[in-house]
Chain A
Amino acid sequence: MKIRNKILSIVIISIVLLITLTGVSLAQLTAEEIIQKRDDNEYIRSAYAEATMIISQGGRRIEKSMIMHSLEKDALVEFTNPADRGTKYLKRDDNLWMFFPDAEDIVKISGHMLEQGFMGSDFSYQDMMESDKLTQLYTFTLLEEDTVNDRLCYVLEAIAVPGEKVSYYRRVTWIDKERFVALKEELYAESGRLLKTTEVEEIREIEGRWLPVQSIMENKLRKDTYTRFIITEIELNPEVDERMFSLQSLR
């Protein structure tokens, strides 16, 4: 009887220890591991997407629609709404090119323009076309755990790696503990001032990944100003002809 109790005790202790150790190892995910898991989930090597951007300020709003192709660091965006129909952007590495449909002109856009609002929205050109892995651009620190829309999240702080061209110096990101998708983000200037916030309004499981398909970016420096970005169609890892990301494809 004593032996049976002893074995039972050992088994119970082992189970408790196993559970505790497993729990510890999950809790002990480092910031880099968390962001790596997020990158693994959200980083897309190539994609085709159709999207709508709703720019709103006060009571006014305008809509822009677009089709997007991306392959690693390269992206091609074409606007399809009547006011911007035929306007195209090509991003190759850190270079941005714009196609003006009326004169069928291709002009290289100056680097400083990458930081401005993409077609009048609260998203910058870099926000829209920044396809680098975040781990290459920022140094991350795990701050705490929190909940967003009843989902348990890691809260991570990211500081820009010196020398990297990024839109924001500091970002605080809420990452779903289970799905490793960012649900909320605060974007700060180097001065410490909060510039923008992003909240994911809808995520969808696509080919085994949880991806945000509707998000809203609020400009915290302007009253009642936000841009809602809705992906209406997305195809991951489609067959992409590399020639698509060339000046000839803009014409």
Chain B
Amino acid sequence: MKKNQQFTRLLLILVAVMIFHSPVFASDITMGGQLNASVTGFYDSQLGTGYLPQANLDLELFFPRWGNNEIRCAGNLYTDIAGGKVDFFWKRLYWKHRFDDFHLTIGIQPISWSFGSLLNPVDYSLGAVALEEDYSAKFQNAVEIYYPVNWHTSLSLVASSPGSLPDTKIGLRGRTLINDFDVTIHFVQEQVLAEKPGQQRFGITAKGDIGKYGVYGALGYYRDEKNSFSLLIGADYSYFFQAGNRLYLQAEYLNIPPNLLSQITGSLLTGQPNSQDKNIHLFAGNATYQIDDFSSISLTSLCNISDGSYLFMPGYTNQLSNSTTLNIQTGIAMNTKNEAELSSLLSGFSKPSQVFIELGISYAF
């Protein structure tokens, strides 16, 4: 943690030096961001009921580019109003230089290897980002070298340190377009500097169109004490109603090792531990109906076929004005604990283990 703070201080000094040596004037710097406030009411079968008012502020200073240099400086201030807890994390604090042949980015930066799926078993950092559970995990102390080969082909080399030096991990990503399919190849080595290096991950993803349908897939190989595989297959489709309303559908099947379940789906869908170490079968889906130009309703669902646990997340979004958006998000989780409960679930009736409803409003400026 201390090393992280030292690194951040070092970055701040680097950014300050870059700014003082640039032709950028204070008057050229602008500020923007988003203020989010929400109240979440929840029920947990073990913890009972409660509510959680919270607010967070995304704030960014926009520096104009000079030459091939770019400075990004953005943070997130989070407050748990009821608990009086205040937290802050840097989302961006980096310097990017575009050399003729490659781009070099040094500092805190988002590292995301998303390719359009709801769940991503081969991301640089595995986490339930699709469910916005582990949002801060994407922003890491890192050095990235991005080498574009042509307009659609590139290589990225990343080294990041989430905490101490032994936790440093490296990643390599290649991206290209083959027959109009976006194809990426990934490699990640966890804890590269530790005495005993951590997991190695190899991944390949592809996304494109077959007729009127968008299709995508991913294949992952995880090399550690237990070598394992993951497979993702998904499709999306839009249906237009006569009045111009649109229904967007996305569905995917994911086959993953049991130890990756909580990393990929988050804490809401924990499921039952799998003693046989067999891969878990998951179904994920999203249906979004655009009511008008400003509002939409959606339903995101996750189902662990292996143990019958599932999660429903209905939502409603309404852009109230140029900058203000209303969000209502709910979640109903059914996690199985034993076989009796599983049979109850399969029969179609079960008591939810977790329920939440979040009412939020955001203001962009």
Residues of A within 8 A of B (CB): 55, 57, 60, 62-63, 81-83, 85, 92, 94-95, 100, 102-105, 107-113, 115-117, 120-122, 189, 193, 195, 219, 221-222, 225, 242-243, 245-248, 251
Contact = CB atoms under 8 A, between A and B. Distances in A.
A165 to B, nearest CB: 11
Contact of B148 (A113, A219, A246): A246
A164 to B, nearest CB: 15
A92 B152 contact: yes
A57 B325 contact: no
B322 A60 contact: no
Contact of B238 (A100, A107, A115): A115
B114 interface: yes
Given A82-B32, A82-B365, A247-B148, A103 B112 contact: yes
A248 B323 CA distance: 29
A140 B115 CA distance: 40
Contact of A112 (B115, B154, B238): B238
B242 A221 contact: yes
B293 A117 contact: yes
B349 interface: no
Contacts of B138: 103
Contacts of A100: 114
Contact of B246 (A82, A105, A116): A116
Nearest to A225: B293
B237 interface: yes
Contacts of A107: 114-116, 207
A83 B212 contact: no
Interface stretch (B16-24, B43-51, B175-183, B254-262): B175-183
A243 B151 contact: yes
Taking chain B's interface residues, is the majority helix, strand, or loop, or is none over half, making it mixed?
strand
| Residue among A105, A195, A246 with max Cβ neighbours from chain B (10 Å) | A105
B281 interface: no
A88 to B, nearest CB: 15
Interface string B207-234: 1110011100000000000000000000
B160 to A, nearest CB: 14
28 contacts: A57-B294, A60-B321, A62-B294, A63-B322, A83-B323, A85-B32, A92-B152, A103-B129, A104-B110, A105-B112, A110-B209, A110-B213, A112-B214, A112-B236, A113-B214, A115-B238, A115-B240, A116-B246, A120-B294, A189-B242, A193-B242, A222-B292, A242-B151, A243-B151, A246-B148, A248-B146, A248-B148, A251-B103
Contact of A104 (B109, B154, B319): B109
B103 A248 contact: yes
Contacts of A225: 244, 292-293
Nearest to B365: A82
B292 A57 contact: yes
A111 B214 contact: yes
B29 interface: no
B32 A219 contact: no
A122 B214 CA distance: 23
Given A103-B138, A111-B212, A112-B237, A246 B323 contact: no
Given A95-B180, A120-B294, A247 B151 contact: yes
B26 interface: no
Contacts of B110: 102-105
B1 interface: no
Contacts of B242: 189, 193, 221
A247 B325 contact: no
A105 B154 contact: no
B62 to A, nearest CB: 9
Interface string B61-77: 00000000000000000
B247 to A, nearest CB: 11
Given A82-B365, A225-B244, 9 more contacts: A95-B177, A104-B112, A107-B207, A108-B207, A108-B208, A116-B238, A117-B244, A122-B244, A247-B175
